[in-house]
A and B are shown apart, each in its own frame.
Chain A
Amino acid sequence: MKNTLRQVFHSSKFVAGFIIFVAILLLMIIYPLINPGNPLQQIGVGTFAKPGTYVSLYDATKAPVSTFRLPDAAEKRLGTSLSEEDKAAMVEWFEAVGADISDLDTNDTEKMLEMWDEYYDPSAKPKGMIRAKILYYGRLDKSLKEMGSGDGDSISIAEPNEEGVLEETKKILDTDYVNTKEVANVKTLPLGTDNFGRDVLKELVSATGTSIRIGLIAGIVATLIGLTLGLLAGYVGGFLDDIIMFVTNIFTVIPGFVLLILISYSIGQEQRGAAVVAIVIGFTSWTWTARSVRSQVISLRNRDHVNLSKLSGHSLVRIVLTDILPYIASYVVMAFILQVSSGILSEAQLSLLGLGPKTTEVPTLGLMMNWAMLYSAHTNGSWWAYFPVILTITLISFSLNLMNTGLDQVFNPTLRD
């Protein structure tokens, strides 16, 4: 046993896969300790908040102020509200209203803004200009007005006094800064929020756990069924073999995924918890384990030590468990790993079709993708809602397959170096 383990851990492929898998498992265990709470809690109002750090504006106005005179502050401020495209559009407007733009330098922002003040008229409707464009200029004008003139600008905070008249209580200068450490509420969302306003990273970690559990249950169910039937068919042979192989062949011929869809659909969403889905996946993916175990057993059953056991009068169960199973154990473990991997993928596929576990209870990787797709995350640029999920699924099945290949190299004599 010790020797086997040493051999296994000499395989670089297995080690690589193992490290990735353990890293995922560790993240699953550690992250909820750092960031506890219900992963399905809706913290954001609205859909798909971008990844980043969110600073409470309310608290920031109350935090102690430091003054910095940064040389590029005004430029940066301008940069966020006036892009090159906006400048080009401003020139278009000047043209449309017939301003003289022969010696206009678009890099001279001050001159541009001056001209804008002179020529922009919110009620003007230049001929041939579509409404979307007119609205765009309205928004541009607003953002230019909000940007202010540049130096020495301030924003006032006013609160109603006893008579209900607004009274300035604080002035924020454009040179005022606060340290984020001194702001009471700062929330970092490394992967933003999803369509329900849930923290994607927290949900992802929890979903990975559920999906791995689904994979494990599916793998155990599939391997148990496959192993039992394969052992019986292979060792007992004869009529029992015929019957088992008949059933196995039927299941092999019907595409497993179609069967999976039909069963999930007929169970109905109300009954589809994560465990039920896992068991259903297990019940539809045992066939090739059964077939290959059977063929291995057939090659084993006439070996001398098996015959010796038979002559000694050992029972069928004992012979199977002590004389046959240990010889195919490495193979079964490898098959199990692959079953786990395909179980996770099957859950994701099912959920993507809307046939996964019911959605209110636990997050799963497939459900996260399903909701991201229903809310068109892929077309509206909200990559954080689905890409990390795809990456996680890929990493899990990649690591499991890597481990399987590593084991194969160790245990399969034809592949041994």
Chain B
Amino acid sequence: MKKLISMLLAMAMVLSMVVSTAALADEATGDVELPREETLYFAGQQWGAVNSWNPIGTNQNNSMGIAAGAGWREVMFETLYMWNVLDGKLYGLLANDDYEWNDDMTALTFTLKDAAKWSDGTDVTAEDVIRTFDVGVEIANGTGSSYGPYIESVEGEGKSVTINAKLNDEGAPVNPLKILDFLELTPIAQAAWIDTCYERNGGDATAILNDPGDDVVWSGPYTKYFADDQKVVFVRDDNYWGQDASMWGKLPVPKYLAHAIYADNPAGENALKAGEVDVCQQFIGNVQNLWLEDGLPISTYYEEAPYGVCLTMPTAWFNMNMPVIAENTALRKAIAIAVDYDSIIANAMTGQSPTFADVPRSLMNPTDGEQALYDHDAVADLQWTGNDVEGAIALLDEAGLVDSDGDGWREYNGEKISLNAVCPNGWTDWQASMELVAAAGQAIGVEITTYYPEADAYNTVFTDPDQTEYAIFMWSPDASTPSNPWTRINQFMGMDYVGVTNNWSGNWGQYKNEEADALIKQIPLTTDEAELKNLYTELTKIYLTEVPSFSLMYRPSVFHAVNESVWTNYPYEGSTYTMGDGTEVLVPPADCTDGFGIAALYNLELVG
């Protein structure tokens, strides 16, 4: 009897536990049921719960709604122009297609589309653009800190807007290129809503930056529908102004955009394989196996390697705060030429990158547009393809960095040269690269050990301009914007960022070169193409001679692997969007949301 009772009790306990966990699971998945045939599922953007819907705030952690990838994500908040990474042109969104510079490039004018409206039905006007910029400068948000130094003021009335450039001492604009960036990267917020937000926070900058913005007014085709720590869902706004013939002439196809929040890359990858995710913005090693071996209906932008459009170059930066690095150009160059880049590309990128033999190293990304900007022959002698151990050893021997105590490692000023190669833990392709940099060090007698701190710790250290903890560390310069390659070159060698605390902007190795800096400063004001090419070539020469950093691979800024189980007609090589006037524009593989890439959402079709 006693046994029976205790058994019953145990069973009751187990049952209640099962029931309660089932209830918990129910709660966790939320009560949003989305029809599969109306929902486009994403992976690889949103990690963790959304913090805020405030387009003028900071730290929103809202990568589908308030973020930029290959251009601004035009899902909920729209920019004036859309950037197309494939043809390097700006296409009008809130603004009409043509903007105009005045003769000395001190002012840029454009008009806003007549049809452009906010979600509350009011017109998008010059006032909104002005207020977005002004409040940005006042509370120092991303817009303010990025463009405040380059834009003096925004003015205008009704639908017409003028942007006045900030002028330097000689009366020339500081950097007209940055104004073009403003056009495609700044989400315009409604002036009336900004005022509401401003007043309820009493004008306190910190409070405004952290305002959750739940009552926000938007202009884009989608708006928030549901968000928790499991997923975020956007729903189409069927009153979207863009269905006017002056813009898209129709609504985007999927009714919902959904992004489940996955624990890590493998989880997202498995969901893509299972057909639970349609568009995957994640690096997938050996992506071709998904269709070659597993026979899944998955494809990428290009059928063959590198599968995506490579726009950026993850780079290993030398820390110039360390005397042994700063004082020995030969050491920097030796390490850079000894690294086996082919292995990095084959292993870390599993071949999803052109090699440095295909696209010789310079300051440019591999797109045709940027490659045409410098004189390839003039720098051919300086370029290297890597794995040149003998050359590296010769360089070091010549520079007097030799192993004099016979322990197998070279010394400088009597001390063993011992460096570390650092990147965040869990970033596997970068970790594999750092392993190969360390292997190169071993081959040439320079001790390099790998070190993978957690991302938070890494971010704190590498953005500190005085750090001496990381000798060689990784970060990617800018990918593609109207101001590139200038911005990227400025990140490689510009002195604007030297000594800047909490430096997320560039020159993370704190490299100082007055000559290079002067050349960089000339570029934005140069319009003559031959002169520009000359400047870029000179800068490439300096970069390849001085080696303040070395790029390890070419890489897409957003990845694009799509599963055609439910949706099809995603952008692929050569596919276009037909504009209202009948012109065909290439649709970039930009996550179906970034810049002109959002055109993909208007092209989608259901399978079958």
Q: Which residues of A contact B (CB under 8 A)?
A: 40, 42, 45-48, 85, 128, 130-133, 135-136, 138-139, 195-197, 269-270, 354, 358-361, 374-376, 379-381
Inter-chain contact B343/A197, CB cutoff 8 Å: yes
CB distance from B561 to the nearest CB of A (A): 11
Residues of B within 8 A of A46 (CB): 346-347, 350-351
In angstroms, Cα B299 to Cα A133, docked, is 9
Interface string of B534-573 (1 = CB under 8 A from A): 0000000000000000000000000000001000111010
Asked if B451 is at the interface of the complex by the 8 Å CB criterion, the answer is: yes
Residues of B within 8 A of A358 (CB): 449-451
Q: Given A45-B346, A133-B297, is A128 in contact with B450 using a C-beta cutoff of 8 Å? A: no
Inter-chain contact A269/B451, CB cutoff 8 Å: yes
- Secondary structure at the A interface, as helix, strand, loop or mixed, is loop
Q: Given A47-B285, A375-B428, is A128 in contact with B297 using a C-beta cutoff of 8 Å? A: no
Inter-chain contact A197/B347, CB cutoff 8 Å: yes
Residues of A within 8 A of B428 (CB): 374-375
Of B273, B291, B451, the contact of A132 (CB 8 Å cutoff): B291
Of A85, A133, A196, A379, the contact of B266 (CB 8 Å cutoff): A379
Residues of B within 8 A of A360 (CB): 435, 438-439, 442, 448-450
Q: Given A46-B350, A196-B432, A380-B285, is A131 in contact with B343 using a C-beta cutoff of 8 Å? A: no
Of A85, A130, A375, A380, the contact of B607 (CB 8 Å cutoff): A130
In angstroms, Cα B291 to Cα A304, docked, is 78
Inter-chain contact B435/A135, CB cutoff 8 Å: no
Q: Which residues of B contact A (CB under 8 A)?
A: 266, 269-270, 273, 285-286, 289, 291-293, 295-299, 303, 340, 342-343, 346-347, 350-351, 420, 425-426, 428, 431-432, 435-436, 438-439, 442, 448-453, 564, 568-570, 572, 607-608
CB distance from B588 to the nearest CB of A (A): 16
CB distance from B52 to the nearest CB of A (A): 32
Interface centre among A40, A85, A135 (most CB of B within 10 A): A135
Q: Given A196-B432, A196-B435, is A376 in contact with B426 using a C-beta cutoff of 8 Å? A: no
Q: Can you list 29 A-B pairs with a CB-CB distance of less than 8 A?
A: A42-B439, A46-B346, A46-B350, A46-B351, A47-B286, A47-B346, A128-B608, A130-B568, A130-B607, A131-B564, A131-B568, A131-B572, A132-B298, A135-B291, A135-B299, A136-B295, A195-B347, A196-B343, A196-B435, A197-B343, A270-B449, A354-B425, A358-B449, A359-B450, A360-B442, A360-B449, A375-B285, A376-B266, A380-B286
Residue of A nearest to B296 (CB): A132
In angstroms, Cα B453 to Cα A196, docked, is 21
In angstroms, Cα B350 to Cα A349, docked, is 27
Inter-chain contact A131/B299, CB cutoff 8 Å: yes
In angstroms, Cα B428 to Cα A128, docked, is 38
In angstroms, Cα B284 to Cα A47, docked, is 13
Q: Which 3 A-B pairs have the closest CB atoms?
A: A130-B564, A132-B297, A46-B346
Inter-chain contact A376/B343, CB cutoff 8 Å: no
Given contacts A135-B303, A358-B450, 12 further A-B contacts (CB under 8 A): A40-B439, A42-B343, A47-B285, A130-B564, A130-B568, A130-B607, A136-B291, A197-B343, A358-B451, A359-B435, A374-B431, A376-B285
CB distance from A37 to the nearest CB of B (A): 14
Inter-chain contact B572/A196, CB cutoff 8 Å: no
Residues of A within 8 A of B342 (CB): 45
In angstroms, Cα B227 to Cα A296, docked, is 61
In angstroms, Cα B585 to Cα A256, docked, is 62
In angstroms, Cα B438 to Cα A135, docked, is 40
CB distance from B387 to the nearest CB of A (A): 10
Residues of A within 8 A of B572 (CB): 131
CB distance from B431 to the nearest CB of A (A): 7
Residues of A within 8 A of B432 (CB): 195-196
In angstroms, Cα B428 to Cα A36, docked, is 29
In angstroms, Cα B561 to Cα A189, docked, is 32
Residues of B within 8 A of A354 (CB): 425-426, 452
Residues of A within 8 A of B425 (CB): 354
Interface centre among B297, B342, B436 (most CB of A within 10 A): B297
Inter-chain contact B431/A131, CB cutoff 8 Å: no
Interface centre among A197, A359, A361 (most CB of B within 10 A): A359
CB distance from B272 to the nearest CB of A (A): 11
